[in-house]
C-alpha cells in the first residue's frame, strides 16, 4: 500500500535538496509543502491526504483539534527530540506514532555568539553605512572584562558560557534548577535571579519553554537591568514578556536586544521589532544550518523507514 508522505514547514524550499529522499520511493511519494501555518481548517485541508508528516521543530502546532481532522495520519516525525507544538497525548489516543531526530548541538550557540558580537560592535549599521558610501558611524562596544549572564546553563548555555570565557568575560548564571556546584563545574559563578539581571552587561536566554519559564523575563526583571545592557534571546520568544521588552526598549531602559525568536513566527509585518533601532532581529535561524538540516532530514528518513518496517525508532513519549 502506497504511503503519502509530506515534508511541511519547508519555508525556504530547501528540504528536497539537503538529503536524498529518493530512498523512500519504495514506501511512497514525498511532497514538499512551503506554506506558513494557517488556521485549523486550512491546515486540515492541506494535510488530510497524508499518512506521514515531517515537521520542522515547533513551526506548526498539531493540537488535538487538528489531529482529529487528519484521519489518515499514522506517523509524525519532528526535527529534534522535543517539540512542544505536538500534542503527544492526543496523538497517542488517536494511534499516531511520533518520532524525532538528534540535533546538531553547535548551530544555536554559534548564532547566539554571532548576535552578541554583531549587536555589541554595531555591525549591521556599519556595514549598511559602508554600502551607502559612508565611513565609520560610531563606537562599538567591548566584551573583554564585561559580565555575561546566562539564563539557563544547559548544553547550549554552557557552550555560550565557554565562548564568553574565551573572550575574557566574567560569566554568571541562574535558573530555577541550577546549583552553585553545577555552575562551578563549568567555571561559572552562580547568582540569584535578581543578581543575574542586575550585573549583566549581556544577558543571554537559554531555557526550555515551559509553563514555568513562560514570561520569566518580565517587566520587573527587565527593570533590574543596566541601561547599558544587551538582552539576547535565541531560545523561545514567550520566555520574555514581549510587551514589557518593547516598552523597555522604547524607553531606553536597556541598550538593546538581539532576538532570533518571537511570540508569533513568522514575525508580523508591522511588528515593532522590525523597526526599533535598538533591536537586531533575525528570523529564527539559530538551528537553520546545513549540518543541522542534514541531520534532521536524514534521520527523518530513517524514522520513516523503521516505521514502515514495523520497528519505529526515536519515539517521543
Active centre residues (catalytic):
236, 265, 284
The grid cell for 32 is 514538499
Q: Check: CB of residue 272 under 8 Å from CB of residue 246.
A: yes
Q: How far apart are CA 173 and CA 159, in angstroms?
A: 13
What cell was used for 217? 523575563
Give the CA angle between residues 68, 72, 74 to the nearest 5°.
Answer: 90
Confirm if 212 and 236 have CB atoms less than 8 A apart.
Answer: no
Q: Residue 78's closest CA among 112, 55, 45, 109? A: 55
Amino acid at each position: 500500500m502506497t504511503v503519502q508522505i509530506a515534508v511541511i514547514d519547508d519555508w525556504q524550499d530547501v528540504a528536497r535538496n539537503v538529503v536524498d529522499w529518493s530512498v523512500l520511493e519504495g514506501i511512497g511519494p514525498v511532497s514538499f509543502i512551503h506554506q506558513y501555518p494557517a488556521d485549523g481548517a486550512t491546515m486540515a485541508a492541506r494535510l488530510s491526504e497524508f499518512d506521514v508528516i515531517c515537521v520542522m521543530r515547533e513551526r506548526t502546532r498539531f493540537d488535538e483539534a487538528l489531529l482529529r481532522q487528519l484521519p489518515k495520519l499514522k506517523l509524525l516525525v519532528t526535527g529534534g527530540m522535543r517539540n512542544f507544538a505536538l500534542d503527544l497525548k492526543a496523538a497517542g489516543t488517536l494511534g499516531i506514532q511520533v518520532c524525532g531526530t538528534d540535533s546538531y548541538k553547535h548551530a544555536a550557540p554559534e548564532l547566539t555568539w554571532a548576535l552578541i558580537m554583531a549587536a555589541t560592535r554595531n555591525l549591521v549599521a556599519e556595514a549598511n553605512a559602508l554600502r551607502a558610501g559612508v565611513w565609520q558611524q560610531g563606537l562599538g562596544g567591548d566584551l573583554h572584562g564585561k559580565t555575561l549572564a546566562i539564563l539557563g546553563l544547559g548544553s547550549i548555555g554552557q557552550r555560550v558560557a565557554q565562548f564568553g570565557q574565551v573572550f575574557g568575560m566574567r560569566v554568571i548564571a541562574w535558573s530555577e534548577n541550577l546549583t552553585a556546584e553545577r555552575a562551578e563545574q563549568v567555571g561559572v559563578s552562580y547568582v540569584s535571579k535578581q543578581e543575574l539581571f542586575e550585573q549583566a552587561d549581556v544577558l543571554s536566554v537559554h531555557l526550555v519553554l515551559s509553563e514555568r519559564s513562560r514570561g520569566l523575563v518580565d517587566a520587573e526583571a527587565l527593570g533590574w537591568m543596566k541601561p547599558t545592557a544587551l538582552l539576547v534571546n535565541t531560545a523561545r520568544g514567550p520566555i520574555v514578556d514581549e510587551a514589557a521588552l518593547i516598552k523597555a526598549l522604547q524607553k531606553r531602559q536597556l541598550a538593546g536586544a538581539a532576538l532570533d525568536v518571537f511570540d508569533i513566527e513568522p514575525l508580523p509585518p508591522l511588528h515593532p521589532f522590525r523597526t526599533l533601532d535598538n533591536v537586531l532581529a533575525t528570523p529564527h535561524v539559530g538551528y537553520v544550518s546545513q549540518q543541522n538540516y542534514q541531520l534532521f532530514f536524514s534521520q527523518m528518513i530513517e524514522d520513516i523507514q523503521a516505521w514502515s518496517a514495523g520497528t519505529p525508532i526515536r519515539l517521543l513519549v
